Each structure stands twice: as structure tokens, then as C-alpha cells.
Homo-oligomer: A and B are copies of this chain.
């Protein structure tokens, strides 16, 4: 299907490009300096958690169910925080550890454990290559996906293998075929709810297939980063199946490692982070981590659970986040529809939660669009960032992160994105017919 510029005559296309060039000059003259690169909560969202800062005052009771949160000990996390984590992850509190402020760091550490020590008595992933003619252990990366995930596995020395994302999760026909016979495939990265960046939520069927599929590797792991588990934009959010229940039913609970944090609930970077897994895996990981950690920051855990003591308090708090995020996501939808509907130039997703919209321009356009937007004063997530090693071979995907800018700035940034898409679309059309 061709786009509006491909359908034009040469003359029409030249006129259109001149017009677009003028519009770009006008835009350039606005000297914008806007950042839509990362999924940062806005200052107004961050302020929602300010009351939490006063909740543990100098005369506060610093005990949590008998645990002294102000001194060493309780490596596994305080009881109320483990309960919060269990609620977010869908496992039991005993299956949940509360460690530090970054779920990304827990993901890094648990993969490092698999790499260096193995799990469940299997050989360390890091030894796989030497024992198998130099074949590297692999991790499946549904694309577009989260750049920092891919960075963790790449850094360890794993091979990132792309698999396609669909509107209901990873393409399970592809996944099942790959893992069934190849025991070098050790894991799959998943952001199962409001996926980064497409915003889709895995269907029950996809979750069921993930936990029940035959894997050649006995130590295959589903890296279940449930980063947006309570991050709905609307009262009725997407429903994600409980992977622990389905995994238990399938006899593969050992396969699941789930992560979450409060970074996008309370303070980005100053939240508390959780990991949930089978009792055996939690015992393994505890032993591994205890070599270097006496206990995590329990006062911050207590601060969080005093601020969000009940499911209702959490829901209410997230509804306030949604009230700030919803207009931004709706503005993205409106502006992209107004500027790009029926042009054949772009498609984009329509998330009902999370932090991102995934945008696809014409093949070969993404790097140019991002570069032109930068020139016009808008920093977008680098093109390719949603693919392992930054390699989007179609060069069409751009991650839109609308949370941080004000509505006014977001409108300006989207004007730039729409204009840049038109400019690059017309440029590509001209190149195709050799009149560029």
C-alpha cells in the first residue's frame, strides 16, 4: 500500500516537499528544546508521592511486624513490603524478595547468577559455550522491546535473538518452535502488561503457552518484568493472567522469574524493587546475593508500605497517576490521527496503560525522522533502541514516551514528529523515483 507522497505526480511531490521544507524552517525558528526520549514520570506525577516523605518522621515507629527496620538484618525484606511485592507479582509473600531500589539491577543480578552459577543444578549458562563448540547461550527478545533488557543479556555475553511481537504478546508459534529443540535458548525477556514500547498486554493464551511449552533447555526462564502491573490509564485496565498460577498448573513454576518496582508508583530511582519466583529459586538467589548484601534499605520499604498500606490505597494512588498520564496519551492519539491518518505514512499503538506508544513510519525512515526531530528541537528515543544492539533492520520503529513533557510541550513535540514523518516520507518517495 503506497503512501500519499508515493501517489503524487512528480510535480505534486516537488510542491509538497517545498511546502514541508518551509514548515520545517518555521519549526526550526521556534527553537524548541523538548525531550521525549525516556519513560520518566512528570514532575506532577512525582509530586503525588511527596506525602510519603513525611510518613516516617523522627518519632515514627520503625518496626514492621516485629522487624526493626532501622538496623541490620531481614535480608529478604520486611513483611509488609514482601506482601506488597506479592500483590504486584501475583505470588506468595514467601516467594518474594524486596531488594534495593531497582528491578533492573535485580534482573542483572539474577541473570549474572544463572550465568556464573547456573540454577537447579544445571550447568552455568556461562559455561554453555565451552561445552557446546562455542555456541553462545541465547535469550529471546520480542521486538520492539526494552533496550535495557537487551543490554543486560548482551553485556553478560548472551546472544539476543529477536522474535516478533504481536498484539497479544510474542509470536508463540515462533517461540515454541525455537525453544523446543534448541537447548542453547535459555530465556525470554517479557514486559507482559502494557509492554514497552507497544503497550499491548499478553493474552491468557500467550501466558499459558509460555509456561507450558516444551523447552529443550531444562533451565529455561521466563524473565517476567511486570513493570506496569498497576499502571492502567482507565478504570478498567487490561487483565493479565497470573503467570504463577498457570505455571504451577503446567508443572513449570521453576520457569518463572517475575520483577516489579515502585519506580513508577512512588519516586523513580528511589522506590523499592521486587523479585518473585519459586521457593527453590528464591533460596538460590538469596544465597547468591547474601555474599554481598546484609540487608536492603528497610526504612524505604517501610516508608512505602505505610504510604500504600492497602490495595485500595495503591489503586487510588495509581488513579491519580492515570489522571495525569491519560491526557498525554490521548493527545498522542489525537495529534497522530490528525496529522497522519489516511496518509499511509505511519501506524502506531493505542495503549491503555504503561509509558509508551510504539510508532512505525515508512521502512527506512526512523533514523532520519529522529535526526530531523532533533534538528527541530525534539529529542526522541534513538531509532533502533527498541531492538537488540540498536539494529532495527526495517528502520521504521520509534518509541514515543509522552509522560514527562507538559501537555503544551508534548503538543509541540508531536507536531515536530508528525512534520518530520511527512518530510522524511516525501524524501523517501522522491528518492524512490530518483528525483531527490
A9 within 8 A of B: no
Q: Are A269 and B108 in contact (CB under 8 A)?
A: no
Minimum CB distance partner of A51 in chain B = B58
Minimal beta-carbon separation of A105 from chain B (angstroms): 5
How far does the alpha carbon of A24 sit from the alpha carbon of B90 in the complex, in Å? 53
How far does the alpha carbon of A248 sit from the alpha carbon of B149 in the complex, in Å? 39
Q: Are B155 and A109 in contact (CB under 8 A)?
A: no
27 pairs across A/B with beta carbons < 8 Å? A38-B72, A43-B68, A43-B71, A46-B70, A51-B58, A52-B58, A53-B60, A53-B299, A54-B57, A54-B58, A70-B270, A71-B267, A73-B269, A100-B101, A102-B293, A104-B294, A107-B292, A108-B291, A108-B292, A109-B292, A148-B291, A148-B294, A152-B291, A269-B294, A269-B296, A269-B297, A270-B299
Q: Which residues of B contact A107 (CB under 8 A)?
A: 292
Q: Which residues of B contact A294 (CB under 8 A)?
A: 102, 104, 148, 269
Q: Are A40 and B270 in contact (CB under 8 A)?
A: no
Beyond known contacts A53-B57, A72-B263, A102-B296: 19 more, CB 8 A cutoff: A43-B68, A43-B71, A52-B58, A53-B56, A70-B268, A71-B267, A71-B268, A101-B296, A101-B297, A102-B293, A104-B292, A109-B292, A148-B291, A148-B294, A152-B292, A269-B296, A270-B297, A270-B298, A270-B300
Q: Are B40 and A72 in contact (CB under 8 A)?
A: yes
Q: Are A50 and B58 in contact (CB under 8 A)?
A: yes
A295 within 8 A of B: yes
- Taken residue by residue from 249 to 273, chain A's Cβ proximity to chain B (1 for < 8 Å, 0 otherwise) reads as 0000000000000010001111000
A59 within 8 A of B: yes
User: Residue A70 contacts which of B109, B267, B291 (CB distance < 8 angstroms)?
Assistant: B267
User: Residue A291 contacts which of B56, B58, B73, B151 (CB distance < 8 angstroms)?
Assistant: B151
A85 within 8 A of B: no
A207 within 8 A of B: no
Q: Tell whether A102 pairs with B292 under 8 Å between CB atoms, given A51-B58, A58-B51, A72-B40.
A: yes
Chain A 42-79 residues near chain B, CB threshold 8 A: 43, 46, 50-54, 56-60, 68-73
Q: Which residues of B contact A40 (CB under 8 A)?
A: 71-72
How far does the alpha carbon of A402 sit from the alpha carbon of B256 in the complex, in Å? 44
- The quantity of this chain's copies bound in the complex is 2
Q: Are B59 and A50 in contact (CB under 8 A)?
A: yes
Minimal beta-carbon separation of A135 from chain B (angstroms): 19
Q: Which residues of B contact A295 (CB under 8 A)?
A: 269
How far does the alpha carbon of A53 sit from the alpha carbon of B46 in the complex, in Å? 19
Minimal beta-carbon separation of A303 from chain B (angstroms): 9
Minimal beta-carbon separation of A192 from chain B (angstroms): 20
Chain A 184-242 residues near chain B, CB threshold 8 A: none
A112 within 8 A of B: yes
A41 within 8 A of B: yes
Minimum CB distance partner of A263 in chain B = B72
How far does the alpha carbon of A71 sit from the alpha carbon of B43 in the complex, in Å? 8
Minimum CB distance partner of A287 in chain B = B155
How far does the alpha carbon of A109 sit from the alpha carbon of B291 in the complex, in Å? 11
How far does the alpha carbon of A58 sit from the alpha carbon of B297 in the complex, in Å? 20
Minimal beta-carbon separation of A52 from chain B (angstroms): 8
Q: Which residues of B contact A100 (CB under 8 A)?
A: 100-101
Q: Are B152 and A41 in contact (CB under 8 A)?
A: no
How far does the alpha carbon of A299 sit from the alpha carbon of B292 in the complex, in Å? 23
How far does the alpha carbon of A10 sit from the alpha carbon of B301 in the complex, in Å? 61
